[in-house]
A = this chain, B = another copy of it.
Amino acid sequence: MNPINFTPIGTIHSPFTALEGMPIQPAGAREPIGTVVVDAAYAAGLQDLEGFSHIYLLYCFHRAAPLRLRVVPFLDNCEHGVFATRAPSRPNPIGLSVVELLEIQGNRLRVRGIDVLDGTPLLDIKPYIEAIDRVEESRSGWLASSREEIASKRSDRRFT
């Protein structure tokens, strides 16, 4: 299949400058505040986003390890297929996080619950829409960790 070109639309700034010791998901990052800077050329696309309390950030895992189809994720000791995990070493290293939107000033968004490296290239922002995105009942496979366990977990060097 033909490659598709995407160009980052901005940059995510966070307190995290090393791949080690980071929260591994927004659930583990309730406190950290980040700033999403959208290129000024796209600022008009942010109109009315402030009415949403939560947003999806789509970004590029720009410092991820090369592709591995089977990985041992941070939350387990066994190997799983990479598509059954949120590990960064995917065929297309696109990351997805739901974060709380605190404030928008011009082309800058303050968000809470950031779990990405400082300088991460931003690909897209979408509103989290409860009627569409919230799944009322679901099964989470191998992932038996509670929200609290996930919150206390930090990354190590396995994907560097």
Alpha-carbon distance between A60 and B154 when the two chains are bound, in angstroms: 32
The 0/1 profile, CB within 8 Å of B marked 1, for residues 4-20 of chain A is 11111100000000000
A residues in contact (CB < 8 Å) with B: 1-9, 25-27, 38-39, 42, 44-54, 56, 58, 60, 69-70, 79-86, 90-92, 94, 96, 98, 121, 123-135, 137-143, 145-147, 150
The distance from the CB of A51 to the nearest CB of chain B, in whole angstroms, is 3
Alpha-carbon distance between A82 and B44 when the two chains are bound, in angstroms: 8
Closest residue of chain B to A10 (Cβ to Cβ) is B1
Alpha-carbon distance between A25 and B132 when the two chains are bound, in angstroms: 7
Known: A124-B90, A134-B134. A4 touches B7 (CB 8 A): yes
Dominant SS at the A interface? mixed
Decide: B92 and A123 in contact? CB cutoff 8 A.
Answer: yes
Alpha-carbon distance between A79 and B81 when the two chains are bound, in angstroms: 42
Contacts of A25 in B (CB 8 A): 129, 132
Decide: A83 and B142 in contact? CB cutoff 8 A.
Answer: no
Decide: A98 and B135 in contact? CB cutoff 8 A.
Answer: yes
Decide: B141 and A48 in contact? CB cutoff 8 A.
Answer: yes
Contacts of A129 in B (CB 8 A): 25, 86, 140, 143
Alpha-carbon distance between A3 and B9 when the two chains are bound, in angstroms: 10
Decide: B5 and A1 in contact? CB cutoff 8 A.
Answer: no
Alpha-carbon distance between A98 and B133 when the two chains are bound, in angstroms: 7
Decide: A130 and B140 in contact? CB cutoff 8 A.
Answer: yes
